[in-house]
């Protein structure tokens, strides 16, 4: 490491930055601040502004916010028409509701599958624990798109599962699994399972083993101990893991597009179609703004829960 | 939770995690075009993949985007993490904290659409970026990857023994020198891990790239998605196997680097 610090590139860079007067604290703060301000924060203002515009056939395909009226005065054009449209059209309402339902069901399944794994890993002795943990994270590193694709080969009517069940004689004709809500649940649970397991694991490793011993010494069965001690104490992990699955699941596009059927309505997909197929940018923006509210609300709630816990 | 239930549930969980990936790899060596019917061992689809100009071209674009996004994300993310862990209170601290963590949970469709609208508005008012393509995808990927780099860098900066930096300061080193001679070398392994994560995330992204790219700049996931939408195809299995192989090697290197520093600290 010493050779690295003494090496010419590090020293050269340090010297150049020093000469530029870069030691100023504000300049260092400015770089991430400006980048994120321009490319993360500003886009939301543009999004909000375009959600108030009207779609027109032109480049760009929406009305400008300011316009010159015929008499030369400046006119501001902004309307809540798109939002009214979202409220009145049953398609959007259903899409929002069904996104929440799909995300909720998937989160529950992820919790049911993830909890035993997290519990088991947290209780495992050391070398085994690290290996199991790595095995949970590993699939997360391989391409998300290809992992969803892998399920297409699994769930198809002539896919692996159906072929297996047919050859074992469990079923006579293939079960329709692709293009159903079931396939979407599987896709979401599969993709986001590590996000459920990791916070649960982090929480369960902190669990004091003495509490469990005390409980069993006092005559409680493992079941009773689990439901009166382990489960309540792991609630913060459950909340954190559930949020990490629920929030991205709401806006999911790829999974319903590949595994879902034509009637699997999810808001991410509606937004995508509104933008790419209908080319209605203002309506797509309004859909995004409402979705943002849906996503931000649970995050704010989580934050307030955590703050309250911090104060206790 | 003792007895047979727990190991069974865990085994089921791991089968659930790995079975689809393993079947994907196995069927990439399948002679038959019918992806799920075994027709004998063959590397035919790998050959076909190497002759597919569309896939090769888009893979090259994706690698370029991932390389530059990872570089920029490490710069932006590290500076953000450094400022938040070492600078104490400053105006806009809360804003920066929010902006650096929010991309982690932001639905991709929202990030993609809002960035595209920003690029279009900027082109109208400033004349830059002229059209969309490689540059706009790199900017978009840098922004969301920086958040992941920042998380890793922040953890490392908090764990790091700050007395090293204090000692350097006491010995008369300026803040720039302390950063480049002490802080940076200590956190470098974490930054390498962050770089690899950013690289993988960028290589993997479909939704954001679809929004902000222009004609002629299709990334690999965009090409795969358009193929896969029409159904299962064996050359995608071959491609998936190659990608999984690369990722495995990268993860092993990253894990080894992180372990090495964890031991040293």
Question: Of A17, A139, A244, which has the smallest distance from its Cβ to B17's Cβ?
Answer: A139
**Which residues are within 8 A (CB) of A38 and not within 5 positions of it... i.e. 6 or more apart?**
none
Q: Check pLDDT > 60 for residue B265.
A: no
Q: What is the DSSP letter of A312?
A: -
Q: Which of residues 221-250 of B touch A (CB under 8 A)?
A: 221, 224-225, 228-229, 231-232, 236-237, 239-240, 243-244, 247-248, 250
Separation of alpha carbons B137 and A133, rounded Å:
33
Q: Check pLDDT > 50 for residue A312.
A: no
Domain ranges of chain B: 57-264
The whole-number average pLDDT for the span A22-35 is 81
Q: Among A214, A241, A240, which residue's Cα sits nearest to residue A228?
A: A214
**Mutate which of A27, A36, A253, A284 to test chain B, going by most B C-beta atoms within 10 A?**
A36
Q: With contact defined as beta carbons under 8 Å apart, do A146 and B224 qualify?
A: yes
Look at B36 and A158 and tell me if their CB atoms are within 8 Å: yes
User: In Å, how far is A170's CA from the nearest CA of chain B?
Assistant: 19
- Report angle CA B9, A195, A292 to the nearest 5 degrees: 135
Q: Check pLDDT > 80 for residue B264.
A: no
B17 touches chain A (CB under 8 A): yes
Q: What is the pLDDT of residue A104?
A: 94
Strands (E), chain B: none
Q: With contact defined as beta carbons under 8 Å apart, do A47 and B116 qualify?
A: no
- Report angle CA A119, A122, A127 to the nearest 5 degrees: 135
E strand or H helix that includes residue A67:
strand A66-68
Domain ranges of chain A: 19-76, 89-279
**Which residues are within 8 A (CB) of B258 and not within 5 positions of it... i.e. 6 or more apart?**
B189, B190, B193
User: In Å, how far is A172's CA from the nearest CA of chain B?
Assistant: 18
Q: Which residues of chain B neighbour A60 with C-beta distances below 8 Å?
A: 120-121, 124
Q: Check pLDDT > 90 for residue B61.
A: yes
Separation of alpha carbons A270 and A284, rounded Å:
8
Q: Among A247, A253, A212, which residue's Cα sits nearest to residue A231?
A: A212
pLDDT in tens, B8-49: 888 988 998 888 888 888 888 887 776 666 777 888 888 888
Separation of alpha carbons B210 and B136, rounded Å:
11
Separation of alpha carbons A151 and A205, rounded Å:
32
Cα–chain center distance at B90: 30
Residue B92: count other Cβ atoms within 10 Å of its Cβ: 14
Q: Could you give the count of Cα atoms lying within 13 Å of B85 in the half-sphere of its Cβ?
A: 22
pLDDT in tens, A63-79: 776 666 666 666 667 77
B234-264 helix and A126-141 helix, angle to the nearest 10 degrees: 140
E strand or H helix that includes residue A19:
helix A8-19
Q: What is the pLDDT of residue B145?
A: 94
Separation of alpha carbons B100 and A275, rounded Å:
27
The whole-number average pLDDT for the span B197-215 is 90
- C-alpha dihedral sign at B12, B16, B18, B20: positive
Q: Check pLDDT > 90 for residue A111.
A: yes
Q: Among A188, A189, A183, which residue's Cα sits nearest to residue A113?
A: A189
- Report angle CA A160, A164, A165 to the nearest 5 degrees: 120
Q: What is the DSSP letter of B129?
A: S
Fold of B57-264: MetI-like fold (1.10.3720)
pLDDT in tens, B97-156: 888 888 887 888 999 999 999 999 888 888 778 778 889 999 999 999 999 999 899 988
**Which residues are within 8 A (CB) of B229 and not within 5 positions of it... i.e. 6 or more apart?**
A257, A258
Q: What is the pLDDT of residue B60?
A: 93
pLDDT in tens, A37-64: 999 999 999 999 888 888 777 767 777 7
A163 touches chain B (CB under 8 A): yes
B75 touches chain A (CB under 8 A): yes
Average pLDDT, chain A: 83
Look at B109 and A159 and tell me if their CB atoms are within 8 Å: no
CATH label, A89-279, candidates 1.10.3720.10, 3.40.50.970, 2.102.10.10, 3.30.300.30: 1.10.3720.10
Q: Which of residues 281-300 of A touch B (CB under 8 A)?
A: 281, 284-285, 288, 291-292, 295, 299
Please state the ipTM of this predicted complex: 0.86
A143 by Cβ neighbours in 10 Å (0-12 / 13-18 / 19+) ranks as: buried
Q: What is the pLDDT of residue A2?
A: 47
Look at B176 and A23 and tell me if their CB atoms are within 8 Å: yes
pLDDT in tens, A160-176: 788 888 888 888 888 88
E strand or H helix that includes residue A250:
helix A235-250
User: In Å, how far is B114's CA from the nearest CA of chain A?
Assistant: 5
E strand or H helix that includes residue B13:
helix B5-27
Separation of alpha carbons B247 and B253, rounded Å:
10
Separation of alpha carbons A236 and A200, rounded Å:
8
- A311: phi then psi, degrees, rounded to nearest 5: -80, -30
Q: With contact defined as beta carbons under 8 Å apart, do B25 and B241 qualify?
A: yes
Q: Which residues of chain B neighbour A50 with C-beta distances below 8 Å?
A: 117
């Amino acid at each position: 490491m010493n050779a690295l610090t003494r090496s010419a590139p590090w020293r050269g860079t340090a010297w150049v930055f020093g000469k530029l007067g870069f030691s100023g604290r504000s300049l260092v703060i400015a770089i991430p601040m400006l980048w994120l301000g321009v490319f993360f924060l500003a886009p939301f203002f543009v999004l909000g502004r375009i959600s108030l515009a009207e779609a027109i056939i032109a480049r760009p395909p929406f009305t400008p916010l300011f316009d010159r009226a015929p008499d030369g005065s400046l006119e501001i054009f902004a309307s809540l028409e798109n939002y009214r449209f979202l409220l009145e059209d049953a398609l959007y309402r259903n899409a929002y509701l069904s996104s929440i339902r799909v995300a909720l069901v998937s989160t529950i399944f992820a919790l049911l599958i993830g909890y035993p794994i997290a519990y088991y890993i947290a209780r495992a002795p050391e070398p085994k624990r690290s290996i199991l943990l790595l095995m949970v994270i590993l699939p997360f590193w391989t391409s998300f798109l290809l992992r969803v694709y892998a399920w297409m080969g699994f769930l198809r009517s002539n896919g692996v599962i159906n072929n297996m069940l047919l050859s074992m004689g469990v079923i006579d004709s293939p079960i329709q699994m692709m293009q159903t809500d079931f396939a979407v649940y599987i896709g979401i649970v599969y993709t986001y399972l590590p996000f459920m397991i990791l916070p649960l694991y982090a929480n369960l490793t902190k669990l004091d083993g003495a509490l469990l011993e005390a409980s069993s010494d006092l005559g409680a069965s493992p079941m009773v101990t689990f439901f009166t001690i382990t489960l309540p104490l792991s609630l913060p992990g459950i909340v954190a893991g559930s949020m990490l699955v629920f929030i991205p699941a709401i806006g999911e596009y790829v999974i319903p597009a590949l595994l879902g059927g034509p009637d699997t309505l999810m808001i991410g997909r509606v937004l995508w179609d509104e933008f790419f197929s209908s080319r209605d940018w203002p309506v797509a923006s309004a859909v995004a703004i409402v979705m943002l509210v849906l996503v931000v609300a649970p995050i704010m709630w989580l934050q307030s829960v955590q703050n309250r816990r911090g104060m206790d | 939770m003792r007895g047979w239930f727990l190991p069974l549930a865990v085994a089921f969980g791991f089968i659930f995690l790995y079975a689809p990936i393993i079947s994907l790899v196995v069927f990439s060596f399948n002679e038959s075009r019918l992806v799920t019917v075994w027709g004998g061992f063959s590397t035919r689809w790998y050959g076909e993949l190497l002759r597919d100009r569309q896939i090769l071209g888009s893979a090259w674009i994706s690698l370029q985007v991932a390389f530059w996004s990872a570089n920029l994300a490490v710069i932006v993310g590290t500076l953000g993490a450094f400022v938040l862990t070492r600078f104490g209170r400053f105006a806009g601290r809360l804003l920066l904290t929010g902006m650096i963590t929010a991309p982690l949970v932001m639905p991709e469709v929202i990030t993609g659409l809002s960035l595209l609208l920003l690029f279009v508005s900027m082109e109208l008012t400033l004349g830059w970026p002229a059209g969309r393509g490689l540059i706009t995808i790199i900017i978009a990927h840098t922004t969301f990857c920086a958040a992941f780099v920042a998380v890793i860098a922040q953890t490392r900066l908090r764990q790091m023994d700050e007395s090293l930096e204090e000692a350097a300061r006491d010995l008369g080193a300026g803040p720039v020198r302390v950063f480049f001679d002490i802080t940076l070398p200590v956190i470098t392994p974490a930054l390498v891990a962050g770089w690899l994560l950013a690289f993988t995330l960028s290589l993997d992204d479909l939704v954001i790239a679809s929004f902000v790219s222009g004609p002629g700049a299709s990334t690999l996931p965009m090409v795969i998605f358009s193929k896969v939408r029409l159904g299962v195809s064996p050359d995608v299995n071959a491609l998936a196997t190659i990608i999984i192989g690369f990722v495995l090697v990268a993860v092993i290197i990253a894990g080894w680097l992180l372990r090495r520093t964890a031991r040293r600290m």
